[in-house]
Amino acid sequence: MRALAKWFSIALGIAGAPVLALAADCPALLNHRLNSLRGAPQNLCAYAGKVILAVNTASYCGFTKQYEGLQALHEKYRDQGLVVIGFPANDFGMQEPGSNAEVADFCERTFKVKFPMMEKTSVVGAKANPVFAGLAAASGEAPRWNFHKYLIGRDGKSVRSFGSKVAPESADLVAQIEVHLAKK
């Protein structure tokens, strides 16, 4: 039974993601179950082998317009293996005060966000969710404000950190995405 559990991990309700992901192929950084913004259980192992851009988001921040660029990246590169994942957090300036439903409505209505969004969480300190705690440890840099970005390579181990002021369409970020997408 344990061997079977080691091999298979079920991912529920992730649009465009495989339903079964091999746990043995799942990097530790992604081996977490979280809920989507709409409350559906999500297994991040479903994204193993993809290039991931993980971003802590907030609805009432000066950087909120970055949702447009994040959505554009998602649309441009998803067929090549990029997944943008948003993590709404109220850690900085109380700029994400709404409920999960309110955040989902805002993102979908205002910015037409189609990339995966996880439920509201914390991304810094002792209360940081396990994904962001792992990203901070792997990169040596914790978010200092909303819209901090982590680019995770297909191997699920290589992590590069980009601060809030780095726009999704910045030449450096796009170049790094393309480098990681080229690695198979």
What residues act catalytically?
61
Beta bridge partners of 121: 89
Question: Which of helix, strand or coil describes residue 64?
Answer: coil
Are 55 and 149 in contact by the 8 Å Cβ rule? The answer is yes
16: how many CB neighbours lie within 10 A of its CB? 10
Calculate the alpha carbon distances from 102 to 84, 109, 124 in Å. 20, 10, 22
> H-type helices in the chain, by residue range?
2-7, 66-77, 100-111, 130-139, 171-182
Interior angle at CA 123, CA 71 and CA 25, nearest 5: 75
Are 33 and 41 in contact by the 8 Å Cβ rule? The answer is yes
Could you list the beta-strand ranges (E) of 19-144. 20-22, 33-35, 41-43, 51-57, 82-88
